[in-house]
Structures are given as C-alpha cells and as structure tokens.
Structure 1
Amino acid sequence: MSHDKVAVVTGAGSGIGAATAKRFARDGFKVVLNGRTESKLSAVAEEIGVENSLVVTGDVSSEAVVENMIAQTIKTYGRLDVVVNNAGVFVGGTIDKLSAADWDKQMNINAKGPFLVTKAALPHLVKTKGSVVNVSSVSGLGGDWGAFAYDASKGAVTLMTKALALDFAPQGVRINAVAPSLTDTEMAEAVMENDEVVSAFANRIAMGRAGKSEEVADVIAFLASEDARFVTGTIVPVDGGLSASNGQPKLG
C-alpha cells in the first residue's frame, strides 16, 4: 500500500480505465482521472472519494490538454508515479470502406495520445523512478478481419512500449503494456449484446468467456507495482488464453 503515490489514468470514465482507477485508489494512490465526459469521470471520483482524486477532462490527442493534465497533477500532488494510457476508440471497416477521418481518429487517440501523455509525464516519472502501463490489445499483436486501422493503432502502442522501455530503463522508468482480448466494457457493448459473436469469441478464448475490466486492472496494478520491479518492455496478454493458440480450430 502506498499513501503518497500518484497515478494518472486516461479513459477513466468507464471500463478498464474506471476499474484501474478504483484499483489504484484501493492501493492508496491519489488518482488523476482523465476522459472526455466529465459526468462519467465525476461518478468514478465520487466512488473512490473526491479527496483521493482529481478530474481533468479532455482529449488526449490534444497536446495542450495533455500538458495541462500533467501540470494540474504536479500542482495538486507534487509528484507523479504511474501513468496508465488507456483511452481508446474503435472504428471497424475494411480499407475500401474506412474513411481517412476514421483512420485519423483511431491513430490520434489510440497511438498519439499515449505518445503525448508519456512525453509530458516522463520528466516527472524519472524523478520518482515511476512506470507507464499502456493498454494495447491482442489486436496489437496480430491482425483481425475488418479492423486494420484499429490493429495498426494498437500495433503502434505495442512497439512504442518496447522501444520506450529500452530508452528509459537506464533512468529507472519501467514501461510495459497489457493486451486484452474481448473485455466486457462500454466500448464492446455492441459485441457483448450479440450472442453469435460472443459465442465465436468463447470458442477461441481458452477460458471460454470475455474478460472483465477488473481482471485487466489487476494486471495493470501488478505491472505498476514494486512486485514487477525487474519487468520492462513486456506486453502481457490478458486474454483468457486466446493468444496461446496458433489459430487452428478446436476439434471435437
């Protein structure tokens, strides 16, 4: 338990981000909640205690928003120990149907966002020997049908994580990522409501079900903790065994 450490969590209004913010609060952190919808962030802040949290609304693809968020964090708490880059969007479609605007939206939030937040946070993380945990995806480890742009954005997060880990390990900053599969979140709501799609996922996930936000949050908390002090540049699948398969179908 740490009663003086500070974590920034982006996309904290729901799903994995909200679960992660709650987990860090339980572990004694002050938590900075970022997202685009103030009402959702405020609800999470109320749940974990407004005295333990700071809400900074804004889009992580904006450099001004990100710099303000980090500045507000330091002004309020005087330090920064953990950054969780969780904010993300999904727009499906094959290349003949996906617009340039849809490509930009995903690359800006999913890849540029973690770049901007990490860049702004690193001077402070160097001081505390802190860590970054990015939320990539199994879609950043291999391709999906009809999701090339999302896959590209998450692939960028995966390799950015590895390369930044090399650059900043000498300064004591660890940088890792989690790679969830289908997780029961607001972003996956349409998928979770489709029994046929859920069944198809269950057939590919060794544990036979979608993940829960709290299950991803627990791994994020581990990667940010002293228990993972010799772990950096690692992408941890939190996917119920999906990526353990070589892709061939289950027989019998």
Structure 2
Amino acid sequence: MRLQDKVVLVTGSTTGIGKAIARKCVEEGARVIVHGRDKSSGEDVVKELGVNKTLLVLDDLSDGASARRIIDQSVNHFGKLDIIVNNAAFVASSNIDTTDASLLNDVFSVNTFTPFLLIKEALEQLSENRGAVLNIGSVNAWAGEPNLLAYSMSKGAMMTMTRNLGDALFREHGVRVNQINPGWILTEKEIERKRSHGMSDDWYKELPSMYAPAGRIIWPEEIANSVIYWISDECGPITGQVVELEQYPMIGRNAPKDDI
C-alpha cells in the first residue's frame, strides 16, 4: 500500500473529486480527514470508508480561521499529519460585468487564501514528517472560460503559489508541493451546475469531440488514481510542478475543423 500509516487531509471530500480521493487514500492504507460543510454527505463518506480510518471535520473555508481549526482537529485526533490535498473549491459563474471585489474575496478565500493558510498552519507537522501537499487546480488557471473569470483567476494564483512553495518549502523543510489541473470532470456538482443552466442530467452522454475526444469526459476516480502518485513517497523529490490532467493539450491546441 502506497500510503500505509499516512494521515491525509482532503478538503472538500464529501462529494466529487475529493470523495474519490479520500476513498483511494483509504484503499492505499491511509487514515483520512474528510472535510466539507454538509454533515449528512460527510457522514455518508465516513460510514463508507470506516469510522476507524476517518475523521469528519465540518468547516467553512471562506473563514480564514478555519485553517487553524482544521489542522488542530486533525493532529489532535490522529496524532500527526503527513499530507494535505487542497481540493475544495468555490466555482462561481462570473464575467467582467458580474465580478466585483466582494465576489473575488469570496472565491479567493476558498480557492487560494485558505489553502495557503492550511499549508502554513500545518508546516511544523509536514516538516517533521517530510510530508507533501497536492493542490487541485484547474485547466482554467491558464485563461478560463469567459463566464468563469473569478474562479479562473483564483486557480491561476494557486498555480503560482504551488511553484513558489514547491521550491521554498522543499529546500527549507523537505516538504514537496505540487499541483494537478484537472480538465472537465463528471462530478455531482457539475451535473447540478449544468441543471441550473437548463440542461438535462444526461448532457454528458453526447458531447462534441472538441470537448471530449474520448467520447466522454473524465471520471473523478481517474483523477484520484493520479493523486496517489503525487502524494506518495514514490514521487521522490519531485516538487513545484503543475500538471494538466485532460484528454487534449490546453496550450497550442488546434480545434478540429468540424468543431469550429
């Protein structure tokens, strides 16, 4: 097992990609702090993964003080912390007209500020255990869709943070910091988001090859499988890296003629 005896905090792990990551971590021998805001869904995850292997922590990442509370609860319960997976995200539809300072603060608080604070608050533990951090970004960090302005900006900032801390923390503390940027993933929240746009629940079954050359989009479990490499010891000394996980290149891609 690649995470035997490791303690892993996965933020936003009551649904979607985070839940898939938490599940995979337990399969690989880890004990996992399941984090989210919804008690019912959190309890379902804990029940599935095992109460002796998990701790449910309910807290709102829009509150910067949550970082200290989450780290304290994690260490007090399991006695240590080896790994942080900053997965939770606030996906807000916004463009130049609808984005203001208040929205930017809300989005950045969840997507960038508190992930940084979690690393800062846990640094003593991560350093002592020569731990690792994996930030879950987004391919939107490179530019983003016109209606995902604030979200895309926050993920771009996370990408810079990853590269900066990946170098500084490894040199000074032996802590690796890397990032994966998932593409289009079929999560419960993505289905809900599309429903709010008036689309049917099976919209993902027929997608243009421009967006899904494989004939489908990516499952959360496929992202979770890749996460294990980046947070396990088999990653070796690799740090400060940002990797896209999508089924086509994000930069320099030419759209097929039939999709233009």
TM (normalized to structure 2)? Answer: 0.90
Instruction: Indicate if the aligned counterparts of 2:107 and 2:150 stay in contact, CA closer than 8 A.
Output: yes
1:116-175 superposed Cα distances (whole Å, 9 cap, x missing partner): 111111111000000000010000123322211111000011111000001111221100
In structure 2, C-alpha distance between the alignment counterparts of 1:196 and 1:22, rounded to whole Å:
24
Q: How much has 1:198 moved relative to structure 2?
A: 6.3
Q: In structure 1, what is the equivalent of residue 15 of structure 2?
A: 14
Q: In structure 1, what is the equivalent of residue 120 of structure 2?
A: 119
What does 1:42-81 correspond to in 2, within 5 Å?
Answer: 42-81=43-82
What does 1:80-95 correspond to in 2, within 5 Å?
Answer: 80-95=81-96
Q: In structure 2, what is the equivalent of residue 191 of structure 1?
A: 194
Q: In structure 1, what is the equivalent of residue 243 of structure 2?
A: 236
In structure 2, C-alpha distance between the alignment counterparts of 1:187 and 1:108, rounded to whole Å:
19
Select 2:252's aligned residue among 243, 246, 251: 246
Instruction: Indicate if the aligned counterparts of 1:181 and 1:242 stay in contact, CA closer than 8 A.
Output: no
Q: How much has 1:241 moved relative to structure 2?
A: 2.1
Instruction: Indicate if the aligned counterparts of 1:79 and 1:124 stay in contact, CA closer than 8 A.
Output: yes
What does 1:32-181 correspond to in 2, within 5 Å?
Answer: 32-170=33-171, 171-181=173-183
- How many residue pairs end up in the alignment? 250
Q: Which amino acid aligns with 2:189?
A: M
Q: How much has 1:196 moved relative to structure 2?
A: 8.5
Q: How much has 1:40 moved relative to structure 2?
A: 1.1
Q: How much has 1:9 moved relative to structure 2?
A: 0.5
Q: Which amino acid aligns with 1:182?
A: W
Unmatched segments (≥5 aa) in structure 2: none
In structure 2, C-alpha distance between the alignment counterparts of 1:42 and 1:242, rounded to whole Å:
38
In structure 1, C-alpha distance between the alignment counterparts of 2:204 and 2:4, rounded to whole Å:
45
Q: Which amino acid aligns with 1:10?
A: T
Q: How much has 1:102 moved relative to structure 2?
A: 2.6
- Seen in structure 2, the aligned counterparts of structure 1 residues 196 and 130 have a Cα distance that, compared at 3 Å, is closer
In structure 2, C-alpha distance between the alignment counterparts of 1:183 and 1:13, rounded to whole Å:
16
1:165-220 superposed Cα distances (whole Å, 9 cap, x missing partner): 011112211000110111011221133855399624x4134434211111111111
Select 1:221's aligned residue among 228, 243, 256: 228
Identity %: 31
Instruction: Indicate if the aligned counterparts of 2:204 and 2:216 stay in contact, CA closer than 8 A.
Output: no
Question: Which secondary structure state, in structure 2, belongs to the residue aligned with residue 7 of structure 1?
Answer: strand
In structure 2, C-alpha distance between the alignment counterparts of 1:16 and 1:117, rounded to whole Å:
19
Q: How much has 1:99 moved relative to structure 2?
A: 4.2
Instruction: Indicate if the aligned counterparts of 1:60 and 1:117 stay in contact, CA closer than 8 A.
Output: no
C-alpha RMSD of the superposition? 1.9
Question: Which secondary structure state, in structure 2, belongs to the residue aligned with residue 80 of structure 1?
Answer: coil
Unmatched segments (≥5 aa) in structure 1: none
1:57-100 superposed Cα distances (whole Å, 9 cap, x missing partner): 00123233221111111111111111000010111121112344
Q: In structure 2, what is the equivalent of residue 212 of structure 1?
A: 219
Instruction: Indicate if the aligned counterparts of 2:205 and 2:216 stay in contact, CA closer than 8 A.
Output: no
In structure 1, C-alpha distance between the alignment counterparts of 2:190 and 2:160, rounded to whole Å:
24
In structure 1, C-alpha distance between the alignment counterparts of 2:66 and 2:117, rounded to whole Å:
10
